[in-house]
Copies of this chain bind each other. A is one copy, B any other.
Amino acid sequence: MEFKHQATVTLAEVAEAAGVGESTVSRVLRNHGSFSGKTRERVMAAVERLGYVPNRIAGTLASTGSRLVAFVIPSLSNIVFPDVLRGASAVLEENRYQAVFSVTDYDPGKEEALAAAMLAWRPAAVMLAGYEHTDGTAKMLRASGCRVVELLDLDGDALDIAVGFSNRAAGRESAAFLLKRGYNRIGYVGHDLKRDTRAGKRFSSFCETLDIAGVPLVAHEILAGPSSVEDGRLGLERLLARATDLDAVYFSNDDMALGGYFHCLAQGIAIPSQLAIFGYNGLDIGRTIPQPLSTIRTPRVATGEIAAQLIVANAPPQVVDLGFELIEGATA
């Protein structure tokens, strides 16, 4: 049972109380069109007195556009997507837009269902992670006529607007960095790559870069399920049990890398002399551990901000590459 619109004050009642027409109240409230100062006073007084709260549902239906922005995100389990939401919501709130969200758990089918549910709210824009959508999702989004923003990836074709950075480039630069440092017995620890396709792209371009250099990946350990610090630790433990002579390990992200780092601390494995560790994301915590984590810092908050700004400004279709920053750190 939902909320009943009980005893809600309507615009008509405000108009009546102020002794003016409904359209006048509407104009005053939206500060649009013309009205006298005196009228304004009376309307505002009535609004105050009655405790009127405009009904945006009705307003949106009557007018031609909504100020809802829909986020369809894969996960809320680590700080990555909250960072994006944070950046976006700051901009949206300033512009009187309202953020709406749902979580797909990295399931493309769920993404399609949730995107459809979102479209029913007729949002000004739908924001999704990356480019990997089902045909149904893509078709539906295109047909909707609503703006679409794909976030945090640039390796593919944008439906409309894309804001982020290249995961392939990130994987490549990570490999190049480790090679430059002279590591040549390199391993990988990652989480479910089928679902997290951006992590998958990083991994594959990482491997390609190693191959080209003639220093192929020695071993890898993939854990099922979402990334976590504990799985990073466990993954490294397993990897080292199989491949004893690694000199560096690339992790699917910082959460996993931190787990690896802690494993080394606990086992007395010297970092980076005995084993180097490299992550991805550039989480704040990586800067405060005794040896700053070597990683790639991604502009997550900025991605949200820019995406929101483009929607608010109704910008034309475009791809915005925000780049990323390689942090040399002390672990690799």
Residue in B3, B7, B89, B228 whose CB lies within 8 Å of A123: B3
Supposing A82-B79, A89-B76, A262-B290 touch, asked if A120 and B56 sit within 8 A by C-beta, the answer is: yes
- Does the CB pair A2–B120 fall under 8 Å? no
Tell me if A129 counts as interface (CB < 8 A to partner B): no
Residue in B57, B117, B144, B288 whose CB lies within 8 Å of A96: B117
Residues in chain B near residue A100, CB distance under 8 A: 98-101
Q: Which of A111-148 contact B (CB under 8 A)?
A: 114, 116-125, 140, 143-147
Q: Which of A210-237 contact B (CB under 8 A)?
A: 228-230, 232-233
Tell me if A36 counts as interface (CB < 8 A to partner B): no
How often does this chain occur in the complex, in copies? 2
- Does the CB pair B230–A287 fall under 8 Å? yes
CA distance A298 to B75 in the complex (A): 20
Chain A 1-19, CB-CB to B under 8 Å as 1, else 0, gives 1111111100000000000
- Does the CB pair B57–A121 fall under 8 Å? yes
- Does the CB pair B233–A262 fall under 8 Å? no
- Does the CB pair B89–A124 fall under 8 Å? no
Supposing A77-B86, A99-B100 touch, asked if A285 and B314 sit within 8 A by C-beta, the answer is: no
Tell me if A157 counts as interface (CB < 8 A to partner B): no
Supposing A145-B4, A266-B290 touch, asked if A90 and B103 sit within 8 A by C-beta, the answer is: yes
Supposing A77-B86, A90-B103, A93-B114 touch, asked if A65 and B285 sit within 8 A by C-beta, the answer is: no
- Does the CB pair A145–B3 fall under 8 Å? yes
- Does the CB pair A85–B76 fall under 8 Å? yes
Within the complex, what minimum Cβ distance (angstroms) separates A190 from chain B? 17
Stretch at the interface among A38-46, A47-55, A180-188, A241-249: A47-55
Within the complex, what minimum Cβ distance (angstroms) separates A226 from chain B? 11
- The chain B residue with its CB closest to the CB of A70 is B98
Tell me if A284 counts as interface (CB < 8 A to partner B): yes
CA distance A66 to B55 in the complex (A): 12
Tell me the interface secondary structure of chain A in the complex: mixed
In this complex, the interface size class of chain A, counting residues with CB under 8 Å from chain B, is: 35 or more
Within the complex, what minimum Cβ distance (angstroms) separates A307 from chain B? 15
- Does the CB pair B60–A57 fall under 8 Å? yes
Residues in chain B near residue A287, CB distance under 8 A: 229-230
CA distance A116 to B125 in the complex (A): 23
Q: Which residues of A contact B (CB under 8 A)?
A: 1-8, 51, 53-58, 60-61, 64-67, 76-79, 81-83, 85-86, 89-90, 93, 96, 98-103, 114, 116-125, 140, 143-147, 228-230, 232-233, 255, 258-259, 262, 265-266, 284-285, 287-290, 314
What are 25 inter-chain pairs, A to B, with CB distance below 8 A? A1-B65, A2-B64, A3-B122, A3-B124, A3-B147, A4-B145, A54-B120, A55-B120, A57-B121, A76-B82, A76-B83, A76-B86, A77-B82, A79-B79, A85-B101, A89-B102, A93-B103, A93-B117, A96-B117, A98-B100, A98-B102, A98-B118, A100-B100, A229-B285, A265-B265
